[in-house]
Structure formats: structure tokens, C-alpha cells
Amino acid sequence: MSQALSSFVATFFTCHYRGGHKTGSCCAATRSNEEPDELVRYWKGTDTMTTSRQHAAERSLHDQTNILPRRRLVWLFLSLALPLLIAFIDQNGIGVTLPTIARDLNAGDTISWAGTSSLIANTTFQMLYGRLSDIFGRKSVYLGAISVLAIATVLCGVAPNATMFYIFRGIAGIGGGGITNLSMIIMSDVVTLEQRGNYQGILGGFIGLGNVVGPFLAAAFITYAKWRAFFWTISPLAVIVGILSFYTLPPYKPMLRFRESAKKIDYGGVLLSFIGIICLLIPISGGGAYFAWKSPMVISMLVLGAISLSLFILWEWKVARLPMIPGQHFLLGGVYQAYLYYLPLYLQNPRQYSVIQSAGAVSAMVGAQAVSSMVSGYAISRWRRWKYVICTGFSLSTLGAGLVLRYKRDSSQVMIIGPLVIIGLGIGCSFQPTLVALQSHSTRSRRAVIISSRNFFRCAGGAVGLALSAAILQGVLKRNLPMEYRYLVRNTYSIPKLHGPDSEAVLNAYMYASRAVFILQMTFISICLLGCIHLKDHGLELPREHHDERDGELAHDQQDSTSTSTSNSTEKIVVGANGSNDKMIVTAENANENG
């Protein structure tokens, strides 16, 4: 549920500061009676020049909006939904396989890096996908991500040792993150804003389906075959859906040659963000468990990561022509991945469930998420409001997280499944609706970057949430395990078969540790619920694009031949013909100037 917190923070800041200006307040600064000093004038001047340069660069990008008729939309939707399904089967199926993989690769003390490495790599590349798709086209970047996932899953299946397995899981995270990101971006290109709630909700349903199928499929391979076959199965499926995507996605004709397009990449931002994210997430994920917090390596990486991210923010604000993250978006992190990884740990260890039983319990949560995601998307499209849907989602998630705190070693199956269903319903009302809310408060030129930013912080929250949960779990285990079993702190994903009083003591220690992790998730999701009172729902309206006076005059001259005039400072969506496909043209005109 750590990702739910990140999604909320993204929505709060973007919707509270609509289009880069705080809502409910004057957007233009009034001139003071006193003249500003030279430093203030210089700073404001450079800030205005930087903003104008960035807006001009964004407008130079090829608009890939391409509203499709329903007949073509069905096939394109399948080419987006099926890769998304496979990506989440890979991402969440691995949770139930970790104890088996740990024993097979002799990696009981490091196996949590299988999930952490994937999330770190996923997070690191999230910011890059949005701008790459703007520059090189959605189709080529999307097919590249599918190819990376197909290759990486084969390599995971043949990994000879734990280190190579973690590296290959990281590569798979890069591919899976690209599929998740680009599927949402492409969907926003081919349907109107009013339709996005419905279609994004259905995509969320496929995500939930992948979350359900993944654990069951992985558990079946562990029980009846071997864990390596799970990854060998995913690769050919990815190839098949990649071929489908190749033939169904709209073609993209680049306006510039490859070398000219490559010059638009924000290389400085890419380098600084990579260094910052990796140097921060690795010590956070392993500090206290695999590395001592006071070790020179941890301290050096934290300092380097903080400096790099500070320079990255400054670079994106003042230097980059095409920033990867708009400055008005801030996310914090979330807790969804913590539930996906640590619920099976509770079920298989203190509760003594089998792998299949554990997968069935987790599927109750993600199955409810799939249904809720589709229903919430339909509700937003029908009523054109998203705040109440999101608030309902966080309320349900908070209720479910509170009920999870009642889990015990002898809890009944109904007592276990019920709270998970409530959490799933809440998550389904939060994840995809926050994406629609963000798009309704972002300009067309920043749409891909907004989606990438949201997914970046969602994944970053997942990585940090897993790291914090692992640290808490190991700390509580160490405090409650009998002295002779303290070595199990480094082997949290599997415990030996014990009998008698020793067994009871060890299982109780794991129960205390799982409860501590659940308390952390309850804290995070409660913060989300409290913050809902500050959300501002302006409906499904597109904010106007940024234009300076000269660009506005050019847009006005072009608009006369394609659309009718609108009222003063009012936006209008015009659907006209452009070749064989419909194109959405968002224009804004001042009636007084026309006169």
C-alpha cells in the first residue's frame, strides 16, 4: 500500500496547483510599490526565460494525440492490456516463489533483493520513458520495453546464482516499467479525457487480473514443476503480444532524424537522476540488514544520492529544455508493494499456509482491486468527478488496513480474507482514478511526463516501502527470537521445520514481526485519508497550454480555419479530420482580442 500514498501525494499537489498555479488564489503576482532589487529582477528574469524556453521546447514536440474509432480501438486496447497483464504476472508472481528460490540458490539472507532490484531499476527508468516516447514515438519505445521483458525473463530462468538472478530481475523491472508507463500514455492519446476514466479503469482491471494470475501460476510451477519454468513461460507470451502490438499500434513518422531527436534527450537529468536514485535506494534497502548504517559505503552513497537529486532538481528547473519531471509534481512513496510481498510471508510462516493457499488469499485482494478499478473508472466517466471516488478508496483501504492489525496465528480464513477484500476495493478506487485526476490537471504537451512522474514516484514508494518493511521485520524478529535462533533474521523468507516449544517461539516471533509491518502500512494509508480533505476537484477539464504572446497570435491565425471562436479565455475541444484518423485539437481564444 506504499504506492497508494505516492499516488495520493501526486494527485494532491497537481490538483491543488492546477496548471502550475495554486487554485483559489490570484495567479498573477501584483507589483509591489517598492521596486525589487537587482538580484530579484535578475532571478525573475532568468526564471521567466527558462520557463519560456521549456514551453517552447514542449510545443516543438510532435503531438501524438490520435482519437481512434471504436473498431480500431478494440484491437489497440488488447495490444495494451495483454502486455500489461503479462508484466504484472511477472512482477507479482515472484512473491510466492521467493522462499523456494532462496533455498535453491542458497540466498536466504539476500533474497529480498529480487524484489528490490526490480523496483529500483523500474523506478530509475520511469522518468525517462515519458520523454523518450515524446521524442522517438510511443510505438518504438513500447515495443522496446516488451522486448526487454521477454529477454530478461529468459535470463531469470537460467540464472546460475543469486547475484545474476538479481541483475536479471532488475532488467525485467526496466521492461515491465516501460510497459506499464507506455500503456497508460498511449491510452491517453487515443481516447478523450471523458473516456479515459472508463478505459483506464479497464486497464486497471487487467493489472488486477495479472496480480491474481501471477501468484497462482507461480505456485503451480513450484508445486508441479520448478520455479525456472515460470519465467520461461512468460517470455514467449511477451513475444506474442509484442507482435500483436507491432501490427495494431498507430504508426509514428518522426519529424526529425534520429541524431536530431537524440539531441533533445535531457542527458544531464538522466545522469543525475540515475545516480541519485540508485545511491539512495540501495543503502535504504540494505541499511541495517545487509550493510551497517554507519559504514563508509552507506554514508557515502546517501550523501552522493542527496547531492545528485538536489542537482537534478536544479537542473530540471533552470537548465533542461525538456524536463523529465515538471516542477509542480511531488510524490512521497507508498505501501502497496509491502502488502504484496509481506502478506505471503505472514500466511506461509506464522499462519502455516501452503504456497497455493497463500496465493489464493492474496488473490482476494487483487481480484477485488480489479473489479473496483473498472467500476471506479466507469463512475468517473459517467459523473465527470473523481474526488469522491478517491476519498472512498482511501477510506476503504484504511478500514481494511485497520482490520489486518487483528490478524493472529489462529485467525480464521474469513477473518483473513475479509480485510484483504476491503483493501483491494480501496486500492482499485485509488490507483487509476488518481491517474485520471492528474491528466485532467495537466496540459497536453506534458501528459506523457505527468504519467511517467506518477509512475516513477509510485515505484519509488514501492522500493522504499519494501525497504522500510524489511528493516522493521528484521528488527522485530531479532528482538523476539530466542538467542539460538537469531541467525534467522538473515533468512526471513523461510524458516526451518521446528517442533515443540522452539517452534512456538519462532512462529510467535514471526507473527510479531508481521504485525509490525502491518502497523507501518496502516500509518501510511491513514496519512493519505487525512490529506483527502485538501483535494480540489475541477472536473474533467483540460487546462490551457502555456503560450507567450507571439505563439498565441500564431495559434490564433491557424485556428481560424479549423474551429469556431470560443468565449473569453475558454477552452474548447474540437475534433476534426486529419488524414485517415481523427485528431483532437485543444485551442483557446480570447473573444475580446478577436473583436
Phi and psi dihedrals of 574, rounded to 5? -115, 130
Rounded CA-CA distance 436/432 in Å is 7
CB atoms within 10 A of CB 533: 7
Provide the 3-class DSSP secondary structure of residue 574. Answer: strand
Polymer length of the chain:
595
Per-residue pLDDT of the chain (595 residues; tens, 9 = 90+): 555 545 544 444 445 444 444 444 443 444 444 444 554 454 445 445 444 554 444 454 455 566 667 777 788 888 899 999 999 899 888 877 887 888 888 887 778 788 778 877 887 787 778 777 777 788 888 999 999 999 999 999 999 999 899 999 999 999 998 998 888 888 877 777 667 677 777 887 788 788 888 888 888 888 888 889 999 999 999 999 999 999 888 776 656 565 655 555 566 666 777 787 778 777 776 666 667 778 888 888 888 888 887 777 676 555 544 343 433 333 334 557 778 778 888 888 888 887 778 878 888 888 888 888 888 877 877 777 777 888 888 889 889 989 999 998 888 888 989 999 999 898 888 877 777 777 666 666 666 667 777 777 777 777 777 777 877 888 888 888 888 777 777 666 666 667 767 788 888 888 998 899 899 888 888 887 887 777 776 666 655 544 443 344 334 344 333 433 333 333 333 333 333 344 333 333 333 333 3
Angle at 95 between CA 520 and CA 144, to 5 degrees: 110
DSSP readout, 25-77? S-SSPPPPSSPP-HHHHHHHHHHHHHHHHHHHHHHTSPP---PPPHHHHHHHH
CB 184 within 8 A of CB 200: yes
Q: What is the pLDDT of residue 422?
A: 92
CATH number belonging to domain 67-251? 1.20.1250.20
Q: What is the pLDDT of residue 439?
A: 67
DSSP readout, 403-435? HHTT--TT--HHHHHHHHHHHHHHHHTTHHHHH
The fold of the 326-534 domain, in CATH, is: Growth Hormone; Chain: A; (1.20.1250)
Residue 52, C-alpha cell as written in the block: 519560456
- All structural domains of the chain with their residue ranges: 67-251, 266-321, 326-534
CB 312 within 8 A of CB 269: yes
Provide the 3-class DSSP secondary structure of residue 323. Answer: coil
Same fold, 67-251 and 326-534: yes
SS3 letters across 147-162: HHHHHHHHHHHCCCCH
Q: What is the Cβ-side half-sphere exposure of residue 22, based on CA atoms within 13 angstroms?
A: 6
Look at residues 320, 355, 303, 369 and name the one whose alpha carbon lies nearest to residue 88: 369
Q: What is the pLDDT of residue 356?
A: 79
Q: What sign does the dihedral 408-413-418-420 (CA atoms) show?
A: positive
User: What's the Cα-to-Cα distance from 182 to each of 134, 418, 439, rounded to whole Å?
Assistant: 11, 34, 14
Please state the separation of Cα 200 from the chain's center in Å.
14
Q: What is the pLDDT of residue 254?
A: 58
CB 489 within 8 A of CB 477: yes
The CA-to-CA distance between both ends of the chain, in Å, stands at 54
Q: What is the pLDDT of residue 207?
A: 82
Q: What sign does the dihedral 323-329-332-337 (CA atoms) show?
A: negative
Residue 516, C-alpha cell as written in the block: 509490525
pTM for this entry? 0.64
Q: What is the pLDDT of residue 521?
A: 86
Q: What is the pLDDT of residue 544?
A: 52
